[in-house]
Structure 1
Amino acid sequence: MANEGGAGEPAEGAAWDFFVSYTQADRAWAEWIAWQLEEAGYRVLVQAWDLVPGSNWAHGMDEGIRRSARTVAVLSAAYARSVFGTVEWRAAWVADPLGERRKLLVTRVEDCPRPGVLAQVVGIDLFDRPRDRARAELLRAAELAVTGARAKPPTPPEFPADAAGVAGGVRVGDVSAPGGQAVGVNLGQVVQSWLPQTRHENS
């Protein structure tokens, strides 16, 4: 897992699988995301854990941008206003503007607009769902990015008519004939045939 790149190719020269880009207002989210990814076996660079006292912050950020296979942008209104955050996500986007290597993963942590070209990058929302679902969607997004796979489900989709509660019974405009077959009904013709009888009965 850790050595795979986009479309199943090795991420040559990558020291980390993911660089978590965030602003200090979203540090709690960044650490939660980093923890989930590391628990799943990925190598992660996150400022809160890796740029400790005595380290060079500018050098660390540069290393994260250049030597991480992918960048996770922890998107919020504060992040969208952040100069450093913008530099970090734009570097990932410039390296893969068409998204073919899936180098930029956008994870919204609050309901906010997506600035600039971030609006064109398919991302995920973590803020409006339970913890387990958020974790599952984060790891699924990471897996798809690393393997280059499709998001095809493992089981067949449900038949849409069944999902809508239509299983051979009566629908608007239909009448169930013997054997369960639906026969279309022209409501206009029914009304026209009924009106003369009504006039005759009332005369």
Structure 2
Amino acid sequence: MGDIYRNAKKALACIGKDIDGGAEDVAGLVHDISKMISKYNSIADMPILAADNTLFDDPRWKALATLMKCPWFTRPWVVQEVGLAKDPRVLYGVVEFSYRDLMRLAIWTDRCASNLDPRAGISFFTIHRDWLDWSEDWRKTADYPDLTFLDLLNHARWLSCFDPRDHIYAYLGHPLARSEDGRGLIVGPRLSD
């Protein structure tokens, strides 16, 4: 399954219906924050916003809070799908925007706008934010390049799995799941006796 997403030109993450009519607001906010981030070498170079910054008053944050409550974000297999895809796109209602830009917004929020969570009720999940890139070169862009496969499983432990084996199988597409020589997996399915 991982090869399908790894080789796809584009993958759509179908989040669900736009229940509050805020999908356009979310896409606009993601675009605006992405544009702001692009003016810096990295998010780490960006200033931390003061608690009274007017950006926190933007009404679009409410629409983003609604998006982040969608059940899609609690499914284990989607992490692999968007992590492996070259161009993962969010389809929220009929509105499409970059999944990676959404997660960069999440990283920016965590680092530079921590007052946003208590003010707007927006929180992002570590499994999506910190495991954004599943390419072979993931360590070059990762905020935490020393993480291990066990860390990945730990960050994903709370996701909703119908089959308990999916707590491992859903993450076998990550490069950390492969042996050092890259030819096999460090864990695999147990065959019945």
Q: TM-score, normalised by structure 1?
A: 0.26
Q: Who wins on radius of gyration, i.e. which is larger?
A: 1
Higher strand share: 1
Structure with more relative contact order (C-alpha pairs < 8 Å, separation 6 or more): 2
